[in-house]
Amino acid sequence: AQSVTQLDSHVSVSEGTPVLLRCNYSSSYSPSLFWYVQHPNKGLQLLLKYTSAATLVKGINGFEAEFKKSETSFHLTKPSAHMSDAAEYFCVVSAPGYSSASKIIFGSGTRLSIRP
Amino acid sequence: DVKVTQSSRYLVKRTGEKVFLECVQDMDHENMFWYRQDPGLGLRLIYFSYDVKMKEKGDIPEGYSVSREKKERFSLILESASTNQTSMYLCASSFGRVHTDTQYFGPGTRLTVL
């Protein structure tokens, strides 16, 4: 069975301070993991993904995430928040080896707010 | 750039109406998806198609059907709309390997059923 938990539904940080969005997963197989971002009234866009290569993954707009198998975590970080980072972020886990798309599981989302 | 377009951004329908949501992608992707997005629930898969005329039920297919007659177009059909189908509907496409390839999303259709 697979599951993904985004530990915070809302995170608020000041501009210029670090961002941490937390994601824990459960998977019976070696998973692929993704972070997508959704700006208001827009579709989702890929930030970064882990597919069994380097455990530290760098994405767009200065974001990165580290795959930690022992902690079953894939937390998203950014050293310095920008106003344009305000959006909803989704962590996604998927199970290779299946043909069924139903093994792709989206987290419930974390809304990131940036204070001036 | 990959472009995924959805036929409407906003749609208002009445209970019992048949509703068509259309999605078109321009990158020759094999896979296409329909999701429903509700606050606090993330995205839930309604249907998936991995080729023309091929479809697979997702997690919440009840009350929905789909059609994929051409590779670039994937339609979601609400046979008889109900108020509990009021939601944001997102279409996505991806190239090959379902579980590792990036999904590209359309802007969404916000459907209200009165």
A10: nearest CA in chain B?
B40
Number of domains in chain A: 1
Q: What is the pLDDT of residue B22?
A: 97
- Is the minimum CB–CB distance between A101 and chain B shorter than 8 Å? yes
Which CA distances in Å does A92 have to A27, A40, A109, B77, B108? 12, 19, 10, 26, 19
- Is the minimum CB–CB distance between A46 and chain B shorter than 8 Å? yes
Provide the domain limits for residue A36: 3-115
Q: What is the pLDDT of residue A97?
A: 55
Q: Which domains does chain B have, with CATH numbers?
A: 4-113 (2.60.40.10)
pLDDT string in tens for chain A (116-residue length) = 788 999 999 999 999 999 999 999 998 778 899 999 999 888 899 999 998 778 899 999 999 999 999 999 999 999 999 999 999 999 999 876 555 666 789 999 999 999 99
From A32, A42, A90, residue closest to B42, measured CB to CB: A90
pLDDT of B2 over the 80 cut: no
Q: What is the pLDDT of residue B81?
A: 97
Q: At CA A105, angle to CA B112 and CA B20, rounded to 5?
A: 30
Give the best residue of A38, A104, A111 to mutate against chain B (max B CB count within 10 A).
A104
Cβ contact A49–B4 (<8 Å): no
What are the chain A neighbours of B4 within 8 Å (beta carbons)? 43
Task: Tell me how far apart the alpha carbons of residues A65 and A21 are, in angstroms, rounded to a whole number.
Answer: 9
Q: What is the pLDDT of residue A99?
A: 58
Q: Which amino acid is at B16?
A: G
Q: What is the CATH number of the domain that holds A80?
A: 2.60.40.10
Q: What is the pLDDT of residue A71?
A: 93
